[in-house]
Structure formats: structure tokens, C-alpha cells
Amino acid sequence: MTPEQAREKIIFALDVDKLSEIDRWAELLSSKVGMFKVGKELFTTAGPAAVEAVKRHGGQVFLDLKYHDIPNTVAQAMLAAGRLGVKLANLHALGGPEMMEQAATAVRKQFTDAERPRLLAVTILTSSTQETLKAVGIEQPVEQMVVRLARLAKESGMDGVVASPLEIQAIRAACGPDFLIVTPGVRPSFASVDDQKRIMTPAEAVKAGADYLVIGRPIAKAADPVLAADLIVDEIVKGTP
């Protein structure tokens, strides 16, 4: 794998709450990562201007708002995401097949394949454990539940899923080579684990079959964020064929 291919796999998590911070990180990392994640805190604070700020610096956006609502509401939200010009947008697979199907149908009807966002379904959050699932009445083991939701997402028209790196191989086996897998819970060898429970290194995740890696604090909290991004690229290149 080339360094450029490795860079394209990195999604930097913009876990900030000011537009000025977006400008800072986009200027610093636009040539070092493949995409920027705009999540709930930033979008709630800055709204669509956050997406526009990233795009102004030439960056692509993963809009990570994890929609989970009645089917029509989620479909309309996905259409709004598409109009913002984001590359990836997501919803919760636990919202069920009707919710996913309506969103996928609406987006494909409104946009050409080239211009539409790729739609992802969140399976089980990487901070969740078996105890977390049992507390809400889910008795299946985490991996089985993740694969079940991934299959359901594919059948419902999703382009891929967000899942822990520990489930990548099982999802790939169940859903095929073209199904996108985006993995948070990735920690390079030089970084702390923080609050993630089900983790891998970047090289391990890519080798297992991840298409994109969401990485935030290991870059953002580093003394030299640019060097940290370069080190992650090096890890991926050295650890994959």
C-alpha cells in the first residue's frame, strides 16, 4: 500500500466546537488525511457552516450524526445531508429496515450515483460491551449482533456500516468485498486507549479489511499532530501488503 492510499483511509474526527478550530485543523491536516468527520457537538454548535468550512479547504466530510427517528424524518435528513455535499452520512441500524430503506431510496432517487453521499449504518458503538447490550435487552453476543445488523443494513440499501475493528472480518465475510466498513476504535501504537473498548491499531484494522479509519485524539492530542498523522500513515504502510 502506498502512503497516499494509506492517507485516504484516515478520517480525522473534528471534535471541536468553533468554526475557527475547523479552519486550523483543515489547514494543518488537509494534505495528511482523506476526510474530516463532523459529529454531533460540532454540528449542533455550528450547523451546516461546519461542513462548508471543511469543503472550503478542499476537504471531504463524513457527517456523523447517527440519525435514528421515524423513517420519513430520517429520509429527509439524509436528503439534507446530500445537499450539503458530504461524502459519507450515517444512521443507526437499530432504527430498522423500513427506516434504512426509505433513506436509501430517497437519496438514490434525488441524486446521481456520482454525487450522492454513501450511506452508512451504525451497528454497535465501540464504547459498548456485552454488559451494555444486556442492559437494554439484547442478549446476543456483540459480534453476532454487529453482523446481524450489517446484513440487515446491506439488505436495506446501505452502502456500508460503522463498526468496531474487531468485527471487520466477520462483516466482510457476511456482506462481501464492496460493502464499506468504517471503523472507529482505532488506536495507533503510540496512543492511549481512552474510552474505547473494542480497538485495534490502524495497520491491524486495514489488514482486516477496513475501508476507512476514524481517528481523533491520537492526532488532535499529540504534541505534533502533523507528525502523528504521518506516523499513522507509516504504520499502515508498513503493516499492510
Give CA 71 to chain center in angstroms: 21
122 phi and psi angles, rounded to 5 deg: -75, 130
Cell numbers representing residue 11 in the block: 478520517
Chain-centre distance for alpha carbon 153: 15
Query: Which residue among 9, 18, 40, 66 is the active-site one?
Result: 66
Radius of gyration of the chain (CA): 17
Indicate the Cα dihedral angle 38, 43, 46, 48, nearest 10°. Answer: 80
Angle among Cα 182, 184, 186 to the nearest 5 degrees reads: 115
**134 counts as catalytic:** no
Locate the DSSP E strands across 97-239: 118-122, 160-162, 180-183, 212-215
Q: Are 143 and 170 in contact (CB under 8 A)?
A: yes
Residues classed as catalytic? 66
